Amino acid sequence: MLALFADDSAFFATSRKLEFTLNRLQRVLDLLPEWLDKWRMAVNVGKTVALLIGRRVAVPPLRLRGQEIEWKTHVTYLGCRIDRSLRIVPQANHAINMAKAARAVLRPVLTSRLPLRTKLAVYKTYIRSRLTYAMPAWYGLCSQHTRQRIQVQQNISLRVLTGAGRYVRNDVITRDVKLQSIEDFVVHTARRMYDNADHGPQSHLWNIAPLHARPPDRSGRALPRELLPTARGG
């Protein structure tokens, strides 16, 4: 499967046998130069990397235009860090660090005498947006511990901008400022995204990220749409 967005591209191949997957990938890489030359396009082989999902094994190198493609334990695609285990810990850490950095810069604004409504708008625009970037695609893969770490960043921000005392519960602060938890916000965003895609005019987006039946003895990794039924009352 080929995924294209602007000048970023990714090719996915799956198989129960590693050698079949590698053969598929190498075949695409062998055909790619002819297609690039036809459309007068170029690819930076030095920035091209490969990722093997699953257990760590010795993997022979892939080649593009005679150059080896480096195998990595995690890659960045469209701003998201994807790791070999698909636990998305690198992406969660990056989102948390981005939120921390934004909060540090905006702390004078968040602790100022501006109206609470204004400070909440600043938080949503500059901090929460960084914390939840592309989250409908990867939040479902996070462990419960990672989800709690992400929620903590919102809790800290709300305490800073409200000036709440240390004995005020986080859920009370969230309720009083009429803000959703991170999980509820992501579920709401994902539901709206899937509804717009399923009922929009672009047929290639219909049923994007579909659910798949699983064997009764295997749960497997979470699918993006499986996040929706987990919502409270959803």
Domain boundaries, given as residue ranges, for the chain: 2-72, 89-230
Please, where are the H alpha helices in the chain? Answer: 18-38, 89-110, 116-122, 129-131, 135-138, 144-162, 170-176, 182-198
Count CA atoms closer than 13 A to 169's CA, side-chain side: 3
* Residue 187 clears pLDDT 60, i.e. is over it: yes
Instruction: Give the span between the Cα atoms of 83 and 90, in whole angstroms.
Output: 7
Residue 81, beta-bridge partner list = 76
Contacts of 166 (CB under 8 A, 6+ apart): none
- Dig out the tokens for 122 from the structure: 């600043």
Contacts of 76 (CB under 8 A, 6+ apart): 82
Share the mean pLDDT of the chain: 88
* Residue 59 clears pLDDT 90, i.e. is over it: no
- Sign for the pseudo-dihedral over CA of 151, 79, 120, 111: positive
- Dig out the tokens for 228 from the structure: 């929706």
Contact 191, 228 (CB under 8 A): yes
Average pLDDT over residues 174-202: 92
pLDDT digits over 213-229, tens only?
Answer: 665 555 566 677 777 76
Average pLDDT over residues 88-116: 96
The closest alpha carbon to 135, from 178, 85, 94, belongs to 94
Portion of the chain with pLDDT greater than 70, in percent: 92
The closest alpha carbon to 89, from 74, 70, 72, belongs to 74
Instruction: Give the span between the Cα atoms of 228 and 230, in whole angstroms.
Output: 5
* Residue 233 clears pLDDT 50, i.e. is over it: no
Contact 124, 94 (CB under 8 A): no
User: What Cα–Cα distance (Å) separates residue 200 from each residue in 193, 196, 223, 227?
Assistant: 10, 6, 22, 21
At 36 the pLDDT is: 85
